[in-house]
Amino acid sequence: MTAHRAGEGRGLLYRLYSSRLRRMLTPESVPHHVAMMIDGNRRWARQAGLPSVAHGHRAGAAKMHEFLRWCDDLGIRVVSLYLLSNDNLRKRDSRELSDLIEIIAELADELSHEPGWRVQIVGRSDALPPELARVLQTAQERTAGNTGLHVNLAVGYGGRGEIVDAVRSIIAQHDERGGSLEELAASLTPEQIGEHLYTGGQADPDLVIRTSGEQRLSDFLLWQSAHSEFYFVEALGPDLREVDFLRAIRDFATRDRRFGS
């Protein structure tokens, strides 16, 4: 068998397997909200012998766009993508950070032109370069009236910082009403904090996926993922396949979610 025919055979098997996985899923078994950390872009670039890790970040951004289409096709309603953390802003090499900022701006703009999709930015915009903040704000405003796939882009984001910001917002709101600290302490609830998070009003993620074999949250949606299911994929971010995604959804569908009970 020639290499060409062997490739065609593998492609056919891949499509058959993907179709089989899809048939195993029902609308009721699909998560409402998926959070994704597409990790391993730098390792992918180095293993490929590419001259710059920016090639890996571009490949990862393209995979995120593709991943969102998979989610939309499957009927998932909300997807949160971890694009740039507060730690990244402080610790990444300036050249790499400059490339990342450009790539994130391009991705946000592309997503804001997808028919029906709504883009929401979660994070601290005041910590971002002004041009990136402007592009992100424009993407959010352009899609504000859309009712299709809701895409949260976590940029300049940190889970601990988000909780701090939520508590500060609650305190400021309570102070405006002239309430005392004793009254605030007595009335504070987890639900109240949840309403003041960057994702306030949204359902918490049902499933959190991370690529590259890493098994940690890295300060992503710490509050919201208290009862989420987790799925870790060995593939590096740009190498993620649709079958890997479908396996994650199939695995989620088989789990007994107890929500702490």
Eight-class DSSP state of 83:
E
Q: Is 44 annotated in some ligand binding site?
A: yes
Q: Per the residue annotation, which of 39, 99, 204, 206 is the catalytic one?
A: 39
Does 99 show up as a binding residue in the annotation? no
Q: Is 217 labelled as part of a ligand binding site?
A: yes
- Is 40 a known ligand-binding residue? yes
Say if residue 57 carries a ligand binding annotation: yes
Sheet holding 118-122, edge to edge: 118-122, 150-157, 78-85, 33-37, 207-210, 229-232
Q: Which helix (H) or strand (E) holds 59?
A: helix 54-74
Flag whether 183 is marked binding: no
Q: Is position 182 annotated in a ligand binding site?
A: no
> Please, which residues bridge with residue 126 across strands?
none
114 is in an annotated binding site: no
Active site residue 93: no
Q: Tell me how crowded residue 247 is: count the other CB atoms within 10 A of its CB.
A: 15
39 labelled catalytic:
yes
Give the active site residue among 88, 152, 204, 206: 88
Contact partners, residue 64, CB within 8 Å, separation at least 6: 36, 38, 81, 83, 107
- CA distance linking residue 10 with residue 83, whole number of Å: 33
Residue 44 has which token pair? Answer: 């992918």
Distances (CA, A) of 207 to 14, 198, 227, 244: 24, 18, 9, 14
Q: Establish whether 87 is an annotated binding residue.
A: yes
DSSP track, 149-198: -EEEEEEEE-HHHHHHHHHHHHHHHHHHTT--HHHHHHH--HHHHHHTST
Contact, 44 vs 217, CB < 8 A? no
Do the annotations mark residue 223 as ligand-binding? no
Do the annotations mark residue 216 as ligand-binding? yes
Can you say which residues are annotated as belonging to the binding site for substrate?
Answer: 40-44, 57, 85-87, 92, 210, 216-218
Catalytic sites, residue numbers = 39, 88
Can you say which residues are annotated as belonging to the binding site?
Answer: 39-44, 57, 85-87, 92, 210, 216-218, 229
Can you say which residues are annotated as belonging to the binding site for Mg(2+)?
Answer: 39, 229
